[in-house]
Amino acid sequence: MEELINRLKSGTYTKDDLVSALNIPDEEKFMPLFNLSEQICEEYFGKGVFIRGIIEYSNKCRKNCNYCGIRRGNEKVLRYLIKPEEIYKVAEKLKAQGVMTLVLQGGEDAESDPMLLDVIKQIRTKYEMAITISIGERPFEVYKQFKEAGADRFLLRIETTNPVLFKALHPDDDLEYRKKCLLWLKELGYQVGTGIMTGLPGQTMEMIAGDLLYFKELQPAMLGIGPFLPHEDTPLGNEKPKELFLTLKVLALIRIMLKNVNLPATTAMGTLDKDGRKKAMMYGANVFMPNYTPAPYRESYLLYDNKICVKEDCSNLCAGGIIKSAGKFVAQGRGDYKSF
């Protein structure tokens, strides 16, 4: 164990080392690695946690990912597209609360791109805040238009880097194209966020170790990691989620491997375990993303069952409480990625 920790510390680890670390059976045995992760986090970020306000602006989606509650095949979903005026209202609220990042997330709804481009331009000129978009796959030219309109950051999870698992989950997608999108986004100067789901049906520790090595090579600005959670109206609706511990192990290993990367305590972690986000912030997460989607739309953006923060209006207040309970505080500023 000591040797494993030393190799992880010095960056001389192998893929087998990552598998061994992922296979550590209980939290107590993993604790030295959780502690190392948090120590590295504090070296780079102190005890500050950046807040990013997220609006789920559209739940329309042209894709049919097998895990996702808003996949196009789910006819029970009431589809919406939030009006620009409502988005500006949220931007104003964020500004008033000192939140410096707005995340616009949607299903893969390319038809709404002209509206979204306009919204980004407006926000860029009216409010001084970082804009992140999470809108799925597009051609290079479209990514370029969004960058020129003023988007600073882009989230596009790879979900898994294992070709067989990727194909089994994504009837419409090609892993190589997804990877190409991430390289384009980097080339265009976005701060790029990617990530995976942990505990996917059929996912092995070897596959996750492969994902970690891919992250090491890509050097993204942000990594969003969340446990897979079933949604009843999807092909994976009867699958069981794995325990939060696996997700926390992945989070800690990423912090140890990639040091200064932005790591959010995700909503899915909080859904799987009521203390999920708190634990994530105790073991290396430095970002929190409260849901700012206007209330009536939230219940139509259910990617998985029992999603938290849908009924309750937990925006910044709730975030502050959880951050404090993890022994941290709300950091000021945009929280841009800094390479060292």
67 in contact with ligand 5AD (CB under 6 A) = yes
From 57-65, 189-197, 200-208, 252-260, give the range in contact with ligand SF4 by CB under 6 A: 57-65
Instruction: Tell me the number of residues near ligand SF4 by CB under 6 A.
Output: 9
Which of ligand 5AD, ligand SF4, none does 226 bind, CB closer than 5 to 8 A by kind? ligand 5AD
Residues 52, 63, 138, 278: which binds ligand SF4 (CB under 6 A)? 63
Q: Pick the closer one to ligand 5AD by CB: 50 or 304.
A: 304
Stretch of 10-18, 96-104, 123-131, 221-229 lying at the interface with ligand 5AD (CB under 6 A) = 221-229
Rank residues 157 and 279 by Cβ distance to ligand 5AD and give the closer one.
157
SS3 of the chain: the string is CHHHHHHHHHCCCCHHHHHHHHCCCCHHHHHHHHHHHHHHHHHHHCCEEEECEEEEEECCCCCCCCCCCCCCCCCCCCCCECCHHHHHHHHHHHHHCCCCEEEEEECCCHHHHHHHHHHHHHHHHHCCCEEEEECCCCCHHHHHHHHHHCCCEEECCCECCCHHHHHHHCCCCCHHHHHHHHHHHHHCCCEEEEEEEECCCCCCHHHHHHHHHHHHHHCCCEEEEEECCCCCCCCCCCCCCCCHHHHHHHHHHHHHHHCCCECEECHHHHHHCCCHHHHHHHCCCCEECCECCCHHHHCCCCCCCCCCCCCCCCCHHHHHHHHHHCCCEECCCCCCCCCC
Q: Rule CB under 6 A: say whether 56 interacts with ligand SF4.
A: no
Q: Which of 136, 270, 284, 335 binds ligand SF4 (CB under 6 A)?
A: 136
User: Between residue 138 and residue 167, which ones bind ligand 5AD under the rule CB under 6 A?
Assistant: 157, 159
278 binds ligand SF4 (CB under 6 A): no
Nearer of residues 13 and 190 to ligand 5AD, judged by Cβ: 190
Residues 301-330 that bind ligand 5AD (CB under 6 A): 303-304
